[in-house]
């Protein structure tokens, strides 16, 4: 019997064989999809619940009945009943929390309709399961090639093998209806397994694959979301978000599901905000509305809409008072107290972007300009500061002496004639004489 060393984050566990016939496994809930936190595990029970939630690959889950009264607990690997043969899964929830999960998924706790748990997984079951898992990626790539040969407008996103290796579920994405009857025949002959095709959407695909969102956390559809509610741009307008498709779209290319999380809070807070269609009339001038801070209850106004450099935070109660005066034909004396000073300071000051990336290049340019401007001057004069040079010239004028020249390149580069001290070596003029 060969040794086992299984690491599978898609199913959320790690297993290994310590002694022949025994399997040691460690659960890894942090990397599995749709993990369930049992917050009722410490509550004492009057009776043992026989219904368990079993997790398979990615977001695939099911509820099973323990008909044989096996001593099962969370994170146990079990063999369960399937449509043909058996499947291998990990118990993700046990106890009274399962009944709440069934109510959430609209599953009626009728024991007669639930499939059974056969036994805890043996070493032979886990070996066969591991062999089936190792074939999934290769089968998915081959299936994509076969679908391209048939010119089918579909994308195979994932393949899940059954625990006994006799059946596989192919998850695909397609915009229109696809006739894949010939494809199923070819796949059955190619892989010698039973084929089941299941169509999923773009959001379900993101949940199957997983990933990291713009918030830095794992995708909600891969962690805890089991049903998808329709999202539209009205949720973004209610929260006064920028209608930028690149910022509102998630990993799946659709609108982010988190846009619906705080819509009710913003809608409740906006009930106190008045509708300002025209500028507020004040003695200082008309004030134009720029934006609303819904959660703080503040409306921002400016007197110059073309160049809104100076903005003023006005409470909602004050805006209602000014609107009431304007309906009566009166102008408010002031928008807010101390209008000439901005009434609100930024909540934080970010130092990002203060130092330019090219600040070192600019200093190099200035140094190069200095070297170019001083090129050709004597080294001593280049090193003298301008104040010292001006002081020497003034001192020379007071002593009625000529000031040192500013440029003496000729003297510096002119070669001096030295008298010959050796009489045995006459100069050229002496030889001519």
The domains found in the chain, sorted by start residue, are 5-121 (no CATH), 135-205 (3.30.300.20), 229-271 (no CATH), 273-327 (no CATH)
Supply the angle between the helices 181-191 and 136-149 in degrees, to the nearest 10. Answer: 140
pLDDT of residue 47: 44
Q: Which two tokens stand for residue 175?
A: 């915009």
Of 144, 139, 148, the residue nearest 168 (C-alpha): 139
Task: Note the pLDDT of residue 197.
Answer: 93
Q: What is the pLDDT of residue 110?
A: 65
The residue length of the chain stands at 433
> What does the pLDDT read at residue 203?
87
pLDDT of residue 222: 83
Residue 211 CB neighbour total at 10 angstroms = 13
Strand order of the β-sheet with 298-302 is 280-282, 285-293, 298-302, 312-315
- pLDDT reported for residue 343: 46
According to the model, what pLDDT value does residue 205 have?
Answer: 86
Is residue 163 within 8 Å of 87, Cβ to Cβ?
yes
pLDDT of residue 27: 63
Sheet containing 13-17: give its strands across: 5-8, 13-17, 23-27
pLDDT at site 17: 53
- Report how far apart, in Å, the C-alpha atoms of 433 and of each of 85, 419, 426, 427, 430 are: 127, 18, 11, 10, 5
Would you give per-residue pLDDT tens digits along the chain (433 residues)?
Answer: 344 454 455 666 665 555 555 555 666 555 556 666 665 565 555 444 788 999 998 878 899 999 888 999 888 999 999 988 899 999 988 888 888 888 888 887 665 578 999 999 998 999 999 999 999 999 999 999 999 999 999 999 899 999 999 999 999 999 888 888 899 999 999 999 999 999 988 888 888 888 888 888 888 888 888 778 889 889 998 898 888 888 899 988 889 999 999 999 999 998 889 989 899 999 988 999 998 899 899 999 999 888 888 889 999 999 999 999 999 999 998 888 765 444 444 555 555 555 555 655 655 555 666 656 555 555 544 455 555 555 555 555 555 555 455 555 445 444 555 555 455 555 555 555 4
* Token pair in block for residue 1: 């019997």
pLDDT at 342: 46
- 93 forms bridges with which residues in the sheet? 53
Across-strand partners of 117? 80
- pLDDT of 4 reads 46
Element (H, E) at 101: helix 97-104
Judged by DSSP in three states, 382 sits in helix
Task: Tell me the residue ranges of DSSP E strands in 149-205.
Answer: 155-161, 167-173, 194-199
At residue 302, the pLDDT reads: 92
CA distances from residue 143 to 150, 173, 200, 240 in whole angstroms, order as listed:
11, 13, 17, 45
Cα-trace Rg, the chain: 41
Query: Which pair of structure tokens corresponds to residue 23?
Result: 């399997």
């Amino acid at each position: 019997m060969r040794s086992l060393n299984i690491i599978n984050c898609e199913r959320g566990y790690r297993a290994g064989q310590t002694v022949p016939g025994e399997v040691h496994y460690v659960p890894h809930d942090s990397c599995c999809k749709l993990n369930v936190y049992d917050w009722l595990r410490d509550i004492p029970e009057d009776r043992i619940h026989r219904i368990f939630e079993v997790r398979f690959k990615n977001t695939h889950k099911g509820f099973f009945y323990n008909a044989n009264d096996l001593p099962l607990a969370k994170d146990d690997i079990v063999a369960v009943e399937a449509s043909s043969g058996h499947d291998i899964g990990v118990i993700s929830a046990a106890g009274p929390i399962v009944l709440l999960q069934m109510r959430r998924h609209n599953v009626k706790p009728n024991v007669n309709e639930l499939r059974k748990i056969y036994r805890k997984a043996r070493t032979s079951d886990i070996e066969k399961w591991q062999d089936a898992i190792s074939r999934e990626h290769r089968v998915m790539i081959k299936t994509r090639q076969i679908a391209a040969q048939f010119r089918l407008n579909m994308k195979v996103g994932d393949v899940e093998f059954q625990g006994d290796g006799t059946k596989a579920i192919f998850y695909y994405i397609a915009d229109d209806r696809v006739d894949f009857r010939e494809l199923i025949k070819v796949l059955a002959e190619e892989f010698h397994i039973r084929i089941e095709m299941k169509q999923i959407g773009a959001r379900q695909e993101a949940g199957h694959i997983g990933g990291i969102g713009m918030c830095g956390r794992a995708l909600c559809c891969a962690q805890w979301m089991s049903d998808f509610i329709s999202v539209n741009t009205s949720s973004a307008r209610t929260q006064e978000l920028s209608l930028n498709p690149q910022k509102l779209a998630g990993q799946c290319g659709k609108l982010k599901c988190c846009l619906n999380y705080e819509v009710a809070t913003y809608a409740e807070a906006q009930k106190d905000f008045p509708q300002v269609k025209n500028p507020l009339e004040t003695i200082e001038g008309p004030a134009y509305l720029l934006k609303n801070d819904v959660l703080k209850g503040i409306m921002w106004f400016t007197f110059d809409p073309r160049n809104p450099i100076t903005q003023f935070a006005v409470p909602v109660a004050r805006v209602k008072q000014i609107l009431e005066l304007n309906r009566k034909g009166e102008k408010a004396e002031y928008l807010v107290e101390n209008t000439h000073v901005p009434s609100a300071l930024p909540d934080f000051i970010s130092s990002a972007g203060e130092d330019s990336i090219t600040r070192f290049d600019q200093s190099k340019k200035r140094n190069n300009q200095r070297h170019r401007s001083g090129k050709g001057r004597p080294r001593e004069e280049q090193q003298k500061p301008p104040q010292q040079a001006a002081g020497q010239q003034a001192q020379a004028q007071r002593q009625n002496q000529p000031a040192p020249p500013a440029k003496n390149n000729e003297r510096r580069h002119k070669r001096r004639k030295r008298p010959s001290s050796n009489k045995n070596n006459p100069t050229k003029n002496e030889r001519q004489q």
